[in-house]
Structure 1
Amino acid sequence: MHILVVEDEKGLAEGLRAVLEKNGFTVTTAYDGIAGLDAALSASFDVILLDIMLPKLNGLQVLQNLRRLKIETPVILLTAKSEVEDKINGLDTGANDYLTKPFDTGELLARIRVHTRRHPGAAEADLSFGDLQLNPRRQELCCGAAAIRLGSKEYQLMECLMLNQNQIVPKDLLWEKAWGLADNSEYNNVEVYISFLRKKLTCLHSGVTIQVTRNIGYSLEKERL
């Protein structure tokens, strides 16, 4: 899997390269907006990590050019800014996701997995973990012959957990996945809907549980035989 990192802080760019290559990715780096745009136009990438504050062309200008040219590669914006308005501007420009520096590399890897597991136009396949299957067409969670319909938010949370199985999914990522950055919903809604999902897992008599790692996030765990 090939990732383009466009970041003018060379130390950070090389740090990202090292982390990504250690996790099995092929990485190309560019250190300004023009070089980043040229790289994105000259090769095929699975994800682009794009800093906003770049010399020559800023990240939003690079993104605008990519989307204008119908290049739909998932783009995760990287920035030192933390205001919600900046995040909204980036997403409105066509970004798929957003990370504020400094960020945890585990969270970055989780977000990359989310955006590389699904491709626009691809057939939606069932997701599975342990004795569970998640049907995206009917938004059903199944365990053996039993099935239960999930609400929209429940489905989005379970999908995110299944796409990142065997990993702790940060609470921030779950919240943004289900409610979006511009939503004013209470942050604790994640706990409320995780509780709903746990009750449905009990109703299905599944051996899968949703575990919480305090101050970090949630993960799926299979029953130990």
Structure 2
Amino acid sequence: MAILFEDGEALVIDKPAGLPIEKPRRGGQSLEDDLDALKLGFQRPPVPVHRIDTDTSGCLLLARNPKALKRFARAFEEREVEKRYLGVLDGVPEADEGTIELSLAKTSSKQGGWRMIAAKKGKPSITHWRKLAEVDGKALIAFRPETGRTHQIRIHALAGIGLPLLGDPVYGKGNRTMLHAAGLLVQREGKPPIAAHAPFPQQFSDLGFADPGEADPFDRQTGPDDVD
């Protein structure tokens, strides 16, 4: 498991797709099994600060002590963390970019289990998105979520853009959601920021998409067709 950032109070790892953070009820491997190995000479094992879905690969922040955990958790709650994701849509959107603002709520049924839906009485959520490339009727999208709701990008892709993420077993068709936590930036008072970039997934390359690199696509002044 690659380490993308390391200092005395934080680690950022490149979580593999398919690895759950917490031990599944049905058993099996999880990130919890690797935390002791990630002590790397420290007395305590690091603790995940936030959650990303089992299918999602990429940047995951771990805190090395309780004080750091509290500060980092507060930064996430106060929307002071910049997160960048890459996802592959099962189709090509009509627009090149946009901002999705939807309130999300959890629902469940005996037949389909639980899922998130857009609902007026839900919790507000905001995601910015930008199309980077098109290949064979699919689109590579950069996402920048301002909030961190459960399944936010997945339901925003479906309900906000009108297309599910490729392979999404809940909101689309398939068994592996094509979503990658590409970048993470956490500002710290009196210290350099925590900055990490996760390598482009091979599964995305296998679909014909080129690595867009580390540059933040939302800072670019060029259009989507200018991205290699």
TM interval, shorter chain, is under 0.3
TM-score between the two structures when normalised by the length of structure 2? 0.22
TM-score between the two structures when normalised by the length of structure 1? 0.23
**Structure ranking higher on relative contact order (CA contacts 8 Å, 6+ apart):** 2
In terms of fraction of residues, the more helix-rich structure is 1
Q: Which has the larger radius of gyration?
A: 1
